Structure 1
Amino acid sequence: MTEDFLQYLWKHKKLELTDLKTTKGEELILQQVGLHNTRQSGPDFFNARLIIKEQKWAGNVEVHIKSSDWYVHNHECDPMYDNVILHVVWEDDMDIYRKDNSVIPTLQLKDYTDQKVLTRYRKIIQTNNTQWIKCSKQLPAVSDFIITNWQERLFVERLEKKSILILELLKKSENDWEAVFFKLLAKNFGLQINGEAFLSLANSVDFSIVRKCTNSLSSIEALFFGQAGLLENDSEEEYLQILRREYSFLQNKFKINREGVLPFHFFRLRPSNFPTIRLAQLAMLYFRNHHFFDTIIRAQTVKEFYDFFNVSLNGFWENHYTFEKKSKAKTKRLTKSFVDLLLINTIIPVKFVYAKSLGKSPEEEVFKLISQLSYEKNKIIDNFITLKVPVENAMHSQAMIQLKTMYCNQKACLKCAIGNYLLNGG
């Protein structure tokens, strides 16, 4: 038994409501369960309305497994619990007193719980831990209608989660959207392994300096490679010497340094994902597009973005992956799959937050964009497909990643639409 489940029973009135009585035998009529408190402190439900022994009560409700948990959690010392009008417990093992020594009325849930709900709960929540997710056996029978509606809500949840970093960056940059977009794009150019390092690089220089360097490819490359610490090696390659001289000039001109920049990693990366290649591609993008943010806000179709990100590296990088070693000549382009990741993790979240900042509803545009992208391929998505979950595009895959990480892994079945559907006998 868990407090989450008891809160679920109370919140959704999964009780035999016709003849409720407190543990003292007083008649209890439930009018409003109250507002569920999802914060860390305070009673579980605010502003409940009850009638106990013909006396109307308005106040808060606290939920515990046992009555004695009131004292285990030291609620008697916390003034936030002074206005509790009902103690809802699974098992009443002792009386709980207010400061005036009156007993707080208690409802013992095990006397009124719908046994069918309890059986379903045990079947889902208390299932064998070896299953990939708790409802693995029941999930294939859940209708596509239930799942697809939940997927849309999960996708928006995931966007809201990604919005947190964007809003933090906006605050630090005094609402400079171009600067924020640069930082977020840089972070996602680094992918999972180098994402934080790329972000630290973007944070190490004021974006006004980046703007001034975009008129010259060698300047923007020198700025990125220099701040990344990738110009510090023994190679005497002419291209490297040019970048070193340019970076030295930029350091003196703008008084910049590498303080706070994290180390960049090459280990276990495919050569096409080496930070040298990704930084060169990022530099080429900003050299070609001086008003990057305005361009991505205006673009409406996936094709526009594919065309926009269609950049390739030539010259030195045509036959190099690092500064030190020459390689077989190969054009280094941003692949479609990489652009898809940028759309999912950078462009769509930025469009979402920007539209909301203007008071517009962003859902229609972002749903249209994300639905045109292929779903991501990873173990989470593979497992959901095996369980017959509909996954047809990137909106679905983003939703299922949100479901697995924020619900299944957290055992938050009671907050999940699928979990609620199964508990209700669906």
Structure 2
Amino acid sequence: MNEKLLQYLWNFKIFTHFNFRDTDGNAIEILDFGKWNTDSGPDFLMAKIKTKSLILAGNIELHVKSSDWIFHQHAKDPNYQNIILHVVFQNDIDIAELKNLNIPTLELKDHIDKNIFQKYENLLKENQFIPCEKVFSAAKIPVNFHEENLLKKLEEKSLEIEADLHRHKNNYEAVMFHYLAYSFGLKVNASIFKQIAESIDFSIINKIRQNKLQLEALFFGISGWLENPQDSQMKIWKREFDFIKAKYNISEIKIHPKFLRLRPPNFPTIRLSQLAELYFQHQNLFSKIISAESTTKLIEIFKDINASEYWNNHFNFGKTSSINQPKIVTKDFIELIILNAVLPVKYTYHKYQNENINDEILKFYSEIQPEKNSVITEWKKLDVKIKNSLESQSLIYHFKNYCETKNCLNCGIGFKILKES
């Protein structure tokens, strides 16, 4: 038994019976178990009990042993002045100060199914894909599980986006550019691409976006790739970058993307060229994204984006490839951009103005195919049917925030498992 598990059982009222009596034998009726407090102070707030024909309202403190009241020095803490009940798993000693204040102590060890302890210990010690793998079934996934997970994930991402908006003077177009760059970088270069985007004043992008050559030159120059031109096209990009750098007083900072562990079509050279093409091709990109009312409309924005002609037979600078074909963005890549950048920014933009945004954004996710990665593969091995990205995004989020951290007490699936007799 630990205090976190005890709080969990109290919050969800998982007891074998509710014929509660205090340590002096007086009946206690719990009229309101209180609100679980995850901050400092008593564990449950605004509770209500009935004992000795009196109704008491206030806070409840839980401990594994009653002596923890002394060890935690609650008597000296003014936050614990409004305690109406001390709930413990084991009453190892009587607390004189609580007795003097007529605050009852409720011992729970005879009200809890002993199997729960073993189940909880088993969950914590398992080293499988998910802690509950041996007892898991898709039937244990609660109703609205995926919707709730995805909205939690979106809200967390939205807070990050709002922090970026604050740093960039509430410029949504600039922040959209940063998150699109992040997505174009994929896992290896995501943070590096975002750093490149944030190092450029977005007003410069707006001033040169009608010139794709200059956009590419800007991205390649900041990446440090144009210092030693190896062919005529590189010399042109260098000339343009030197001109832009001088005209807009761009700093000498160099941010170096990585090539290691990437397939050639995902090389940062190709992806930055495609990002330049996106901003060249759509002069009002932000408004198109924000006003799009379906996933189909969003996909149309990205579907004709190619790297510039130089990259037809190149993957890196100055090295001609035997493969000669346009470097297009695939549908799978477009959907990743929509999932990781477009929809979180779109949600953030609309959430204070559109009361229906939750339903609308969930619909976007439900219209996109599920991702293919190692986490989703493992869920499928457990016979979880994954129909769309709403469900795959939910399962990825759940694995990272609950299963990987063994946060079973806050998991809807864990709740069902622990509550089963």
Shift of 1:36: 1.0
Question: Does residue 1:218 correspond to 2:183, yes or no?
Answer: no
Percent identity over paired residues = 39
* Aligned twin of 1:21: 21
Question: Can you list the C-alpha shifts for 1:180-214, whole angstroms capped at 9, x where unaligned?
Answer: 11111111111111111111111112211111110
For residues 239-318 of structure 1, what are the structure 2 equivalents within 5 Å?
239-259=233-253, 262-309=255-302, 310-318=304-312
Shift of 1:389: 1.5
Shift of 1:24: 3.1
Question: What are the ranges of 5 or more consecutive residues in structure 1 without an aligned counterpart?
Answer: none
* Aligned twin of 2:336: 341
AA aligned to 1:359 is N
Cα distance between partner residues in 1 of 2:295 and 2:55: 59
CA contact (8 A) 2:183 2:341 kept: yes
Cα 1:347/1:97, change in 2 over 3 Å: farther
Cα 1:283/1:44, change in 2 over 3 Å: same
Question: Does residue 1:383 correspond to 2:382, yes or no?
Answer: no
CA contact (8 A) 1:31 1:51 kept: yes
Q: What is the SS of the residue equivalent to 1:276?
A: helix
Cα 1:78/1:94, change in 2 over 3 Å: same
Question: Can you list the C-alpha shifts for 1:15-56, whole angstroms capped at 9, x where unaligned?
Answer: 3565312223333221111111123x2221111112233333
AA aligned to 1:162 is K
2:192 corresponds, among 183, 197, 217, to 197
1:126 corresponds, among 118, 122, 128, to 122
CA contact (8 A) 2:18 2:111 kept: no
For residues 99-114 of structure 1, what are the structure 2 equivalents within 5 Å?
102=101, 104-113=103-112
CA contact (8 A) 1:90 1:110 kept: yes
* Aligned twin of 1:79: 78
CA contact (8 A) 1:43 1:81 kept: yes
Question: Does residue 1:208 correspond to 2:207, yes or no?
Answer: no
- TM-score normalized by the length of structure 1: 0.91
Shift of 1:149: 2.3
Question: Does residue 1:2 correspond to 2:39, yes or no?
Answer: no
Shift of 1:408: 1.3
Q: What is the SS of the residue equivalent to 2:320?
A: coil
Question: Can you list the C-alpha shifts for 1:67-92, whole angstroms capped at 9, x where unaligned?
Answer: 23334444344322232222222122
Question: Does residue 1:62 correspond to 2:56, yes or no?
Answer: no
Cα distance between partner residues in 2 of 1:420 and 1:106: 27
Cα 1:314/1:225, change in 2 over 3 Å: closer
Q: What is the SS of the residue equivalent to 2:283?
A: coil
Range with bigger deviation, 373-382 or 363-372: 363-372
Q: What is the SS of the residue equivalent to 2:261?
A: coil
What is the root-mean-square deviation in Å for CA atoms of aligned residues? 2.3
Q: Tell me how many residue pairs correspond in the alignment.
A: 418
Shift of 1:258: 4.8
AA aligned to 2:126 is N
Cα distance between partner residues in 2 of 1:122 and 1:323: 60
CA contact (8 A) 1:67 1:93 kept: yes
Cα distance between partner residues in 2 of 1:292 and 1:80: 53
Shift of 1:323: 1.5
Question: Does residue 1:235 correspond to 2:261, yes or no?
Answer: no
AA aligned to 1:332 is K
For residues 397-412 of structure 1, what are the structure 2 equivalents within 5 Å?
397-412=392-407
Shift of 1:359: 3.4
Cα 1:324/1:420, change in 2 over 3 Å: same
Cα distance between partner residues in 1 of 2:179 and 2:95: 52
* Aligned twin of 1:140: 137
Shift of 1:97: 5.6
Cα distance between partner residues in 2 of 1:121 and 1:287: 61
- TM-score normalized by the length of structure 2: 0.92
CA contact (8 A) 2:273 2:307 kept: yes
Cα 1:148/1:192, change in 2 over 3 Å: farther
Q: What is the SS of the residue equivalent to 1:19?
A: coil
Question: What are the ranges of 5 or more consecutive residues in structure 2 without an aligned counterpart?
Answer: none
Cα distance between partner residues in 2 of 1:391 and 1:236: 48
Deviant stretches of 4+, over 6 Å: none
Cα distance between partner residues in 1 of 2:215 and 2:49: 67
Shift of 1:225: 1.6
Cα distance between partner residues in 2 of 1:141 and 1:183: 38
CA contact (8 A) 1:120 1:422 kept: no
AA aligned to 2:283 is H
Question: Does residue 1:46 correspond to 2:45, yes or no?
Answer: yes
CA contact (8 A) 2:402 2:410 kept: yes
Q: What is the SS of the residue equivalent to 2:391?
A: helix
Cα 1:103/1:224, change in 2 over 3 Å: farther
Shift of 1:385: 1.3
Cα distance between partner residues in 1 of 2:317 and 2:153: 38
* Aligned twin of 1:36: 36
* Aligned twin of 2:360: 365
Shift of 1:135: 2.0
Cα 1:28/1:258, change in 2 over 3 Å: farther
Question: Does residue 1:354 correspond to 2:353, yes or no?
Answer: no
